[in-house]
Amino acid sequence: MQELIRRSESIERAAWGELYRRAPRRLQRRLGLRATERAGVTFLSASRVDHLLLNRAIGLGTSRAGENDAVEAAVTYFERQNIERFWIHMGSGLRYSGLPELLRERGVTPYPRSWMKFIRSSGPIDDVACKLEIRGARPSDARRIGQILAPAFDLPDEAGALFTAGIGLEGWDYFVAENENRVVAAATAYRRGDDGYLAFAATLPAARGAGCQQALMAARLEHAQRLGCRRVFTETGMPIEGEPGSSYRNILRAGFDELHVRDNFAPEGTRWQSHPSSDAIAKSAVSLRLSRMWRKAVAPSGS
């Protein structure tokens, strides 16, 4: 079980890290993208976008570093980039370690929603009902895919290019659903060795309820089997009362098993926010410059 959990974390870290590193240079500068590996932890940061999904630390507690050093390094990483809202992911097996209390001492507390990590063997899904055409994505679909994925995660369209940075790269596969020759849903898969990972997917609001995501999941799982993947991982947020849990249900319906809960920690009071406009990026950039100017002005002489 622990080996499977390790694999699920490892392939997620590899997939997202590659997107950050292979994104267009202009986009890296515009969003402030960085992907860094330190002491067994993967740090993903977008210093010009105030958004939790793009500012995360994955793997805390997996290195040989002392707990206090690990927490200090994680929190300091974001503080030095003036990132006020971020996630530190931590497997549920560490709930009773010293890490949660050390995080609380730094003002980083449990986020309201944990994530569930899932596992499934690759291969077909039975009884998939979808009348739309499902096909592999083409490079010419990139802009449209970005326009579908970015708003689904409450990000401006400009951030869509990060989600599509894997198109054409070895190990990445993109699929779309078409309705009358118009792409209305998209989904991605990443593979490394005999492991696969369903990274992210979304459907336009007007096309929901047509079975797009089940069909896209089936296409990715069958493709993973053809490529020799033995197992496939994915994740989504744990259900919260009063909020729809369609993603969770779709994953279970596709035959995935629950693997483990991953707790999320964030600065106290942090909540998910929507940034539908590129103004959010511009404002974050201005805030970052002002913060740096202020720090320089108040820094002691010789620092």
Q: Which sequence spans correspond to the domains of the chain?
A: 2-116+264-298, 118-260
Three-state secondary structure call for residue 251 = helix
Structural tokens at position 31: 């969003």
32: amino acid identity, one letter: G
282: amino acid identity, one letter: A
Residue 245's beta-bridge partner residues? none
* Residue 25, φ and ψ in degrees, nearest 5: -55, -40
Whole-number pLDDT of residue 298? 37
Whole-number pLDDT of residue 154? 92
Whole-number pLDDT of residue 296? 44
Structural tokens at position 200: 């992210």
Distance CA 7, CA 3 (A): 6
Whole-number pLDDT of residue 41? 87
Whole-number pLDDT of residue 148? 96
pLDDT digits (tens, 9 = 90+) for 163-205: 999 999 999 999 999 998 899 999 999 999 999 999 999 999 9
* Residue 138, φ and ψ in degrees, nearest 5: -110, 160
The length of the chain in residues reads 303
Whole-number pLDDT of residue 99? 84
Residue 173's beta-bridge partner residues? 189
**pLDDT-flagged residues of the chain (< 70):** 62-66, 92-96, 242-244, 275-303
Q: Strand 231-237 and strand 195-203: pairing?
A: parallel
Whole-number pLDDT of residue 62? 62
Whole-number pLDDT of residue 129? 81
The DSSP letter of residue 159 is G
| Cα Rg of the chain (Å, integer) | 20
Three-state secondary structure call for residue 128 = coil
Structural tokens at position 292: 């740096």
Structural tokens at position 86: 């971020």
To the nearest 10 degrees (0 to 180), the angle between helices 212-226 and 246-253 is: 40
Whole-number pLDDT of residue 242? 67
According to CATH, the topology of domain 118-260 is Aminopeptidase (3.40.630)
Alpha helices in 80-211 (DSSP H): 99-105, 142-152, 160-163
Look at the block and give the residue holding tokens 């490394």.
192
* Residue 279, φ and ψ in degrees, nearest 5: -55, -30
Structural tokens at position 84: 């006020």
Strands, E assignment, 217-285: 231-237, 257-267
In this structure, are residues 58 and 9 in contact, taking their beta carbons and an 8 Å threshold? yes
Geometric angle at alpha carbon 151, from 216 and 210, rounded to 5°: 35
Geometric angle at alpha carbon 19, from 99 and 289, rounded to 5°: 75
Distance CA 67, CA 62 (A): 10
Look at the block and give the residue holding tokens 């976008």.
49
Three-state secondary structure call for residue 154 = coil
pLDDT digits (tens, 9 = 90+) for 57-88: 998 876 555 677 788 888 999 999 999 999 99
Structural tokens at position 191: 């593979």
